[in-house]
A and B are shown apart, each in its own frame.
Chain A
């Protein structure tokens, strides 16, 4: 009897356990609970993996970005260089255009375009060297023009190069006349962008802001080339001649192309 009761209890227990298991397996609540239980740690695990992937990707991309940046910088530098080259060509073109305009305006016999290649090694000499010489027909005493103004005179001529004494040199002397009144004076270089008119008598009509230009008195040189503009007229006490200062246009720091007027 006792055995039968025991067996029945065992079978009931078995069915109960199976029932509970079936309930656990097939009930939605437990399923979702179990899913949640399994996915929550995985979510953290995957987020760690993702972070790791992101970090590796960042390093990989950083390298490629750096490489790309270097390439782009290189391209920018090349473009800048090209831009600078174009800018330089544009400037050179403008300078040459001006020179051609001047040549057409004055109708000189012969003009030679020259490039300034060097400056005087002596600090006490205000002059420069140009890349044209006797081969191009240059002679001593030829006038040198830049930007429409006289800037010097050829002093020594080589076969392929020449030396020019600038209008600012203290030993630069030339006979000039004033454009408005036609008074003939004697120009002498003085200083940086400065010259003086020497031996100007009190009765001579020399006016402020008048242009000083070359005359025919200069041994066959063309006349009318402006040398400078009168900037001050003064009379010193006890001196007969007036002191007249002229602003010249020789500027060595941006000198590139010049015109040589061949006689």
Chain B
């Protein structure tokens, strides 16, 4: 229970981090990086695929609960993203740095495009900001993945390297 609980607790902590006033209130950022998506990706890479599925589902449901509208878009997009990552993981023998970055960017696109389409259908408005949002979302996740890779490689697995 504690073993599984810590993964959900960490996802919860990442969600708190994502919603803090640090990014918009203090750093004045246009976009907040999706730490949850990176975390799910990291779980899959670390061969914790079943946990990743549950964490993906949990994150999606939690984000939908925090959405002012009644929607399931986050649940669907996060859960399917987890499945995509698992699928991609099984297609390659090893996941090098470049492949990790590309996969994160592709998955970020897979999350952001359905959300944008959903928002367009629910509001009937599509602006230039939506396209900028997709670009910045993909780029910010790529940057976070870069830092996670180095943290994982040179701090967590320093002895193995």
Asked whether any CB of chain A lies closer than 8 Å to the CB of B20, the reply is yes
Q: Contacts A118-B21, A120-B19, A170-B119 given; indicate if A191 touches B127 (C-beta within 8 A).
A: yes
The answer to whether A171 touches B129, judged by C-beta atoms less than 8 angstroms apart, is no
Interface residues of B in 111-161 (CB under 8 A from A): 115-116, 119, 122-123, 125, 127, 129, 133, 137
B24 touches A252 (CB 8 A): yes
Q: Is the CB of A253 within 8 A of B28?
A: yes
B75 adjacent to chain A (CB < 8 Å): no
Contact of B20 among A118, A123, A165, A188 (CB under 8 A): A118
Chain A window 189-201, contacts with chain B (Cβ cutoff 8 Å), 1 for yes, 0 for no: 0111000100000
A171 to B120, CA, bound (A): 10
CB of A253 within 8 A of CB of B129, answer no
B129 cross-chain contacts in A, Cβ below 8 A: 191-192
CB of A155 closer than 8 Å to a CB of B? yes
Check if A121 sits within 8 Å of B15, measured CB to CB: yes
Q: When chains A and B are docked, how far (Å) is the Cα of A117 from the Cα of B63?
A: 17
Q: Is A142's CB within 8 Å of the partner chain B?
A: no
> A125: CB under 8 A from chain B?
yes
Please give, as numbers and ranges, the residues of chain B lying within 8 Å of A156 by CB-CB distance.
66, 68
A170 & B133 in contact (Cβ 8 Å cutoff)? no
**B37 CB to nearest chain A CB (Å):** 11
Q: Kindly supply a per-residue 1/0 record for chain A positions 148-185, scoring 1 wherever the CB is within 8 Å of any chain B CB and 0 otherwise.
A: 00000001100000010100011100000000000000
A129 within 8 A of B: yes
**Interface bracket on B:** 20 to 34
Contact residues in A for B32 (Cβ distance below 8 Å)? 119, 121, 123
Residue from B20, B25, B115, B127 in contact with A124 in the complex, judged by beta carbons closer than 8 Å: B115
Residues of B within 8 A of A123 (CB): 31-32, 34, 133, 137
**B67 in contact with A125 (CB, 8 Å):** yes
Q: Give chain A residues whose Cβ lies under 8 Å from the Cβ of B116.
A: 124
The interface centre, meaning the residue of A117, A165, A170, A253 with most chain B CB atoms within 10 A of its CB, is A170
CB pair A155 B31 closer than 8 Å: no
Chain B residues with CB under 8 A of A116? 21, 25
Distance to closest chain B CB from A81 (angstroms) = 17
- Inside 8 A of B115's CB, which chain A residues have their CB? 124
Rounded to whole angstroms, the CA-CA distance of A119 and B24 in the bound complex is 8
B21 CB contacts on chain A under 8 angstroms: 116-119
Cα-based distance from A196 to B129 in the complex (angstroms):
15
1/0 per position for B21-56, CB-CB distance to A under 8 A?
A: 101110010011010000000000000000000000
CB pair B133–A124 under 8 Å, yes or no, is: yes
Distance between Cα atoms of A120 and B32 in the complex (Å): 10
Shortest beta-carbon distance from A131 to chain B in Å: 12
Contact A119 B137 (CB under 8 A): no
CB distance from B36 to the nearest CB of A (A): 8
Q: List 16 other contacts, CB 8 Å, given A120-B66, A190-B127, A253-B28.
A: A116-B25, A118-B19, A118-B21, A119-B20, A120-B19, A122-B66, A122-B74, A123-B133, A170-B119, A170-B125, A191-B127, A191-B129, A192-B129, A196-B125, A252-B25, A253-B25
A-B contacts, 24 of them at CB < 8 A, read: A117-B21, A119-B20, A119-B23, A120-B66, A121-B15, A121-B66, A122-B63, A123-B31, A123-B32, A124-B115, A125-B66, A125-B67, A169-B68, A170-B119, A170-B123, A170-B125, A171-B69, A171-B122, A190-B125, A190-B127, A191-B127, A191-B129, A196-B125, A253-B28
Mark B residues whose CB is within 8 Å of A.
15, 18-21, 23-25, 28, 31-32, 34, 63, 66-69, 74, 115-116, 119, 122-123, 125, 127, 129, 133, 137
10 tightest CB-CB pairs across the interface, nearest first?
A: A170-B123, A155-B68, A121-B18, A121-B19, A165-B68, A118-B19, A253-B28, A124-B115, A119-B24, A170-B125
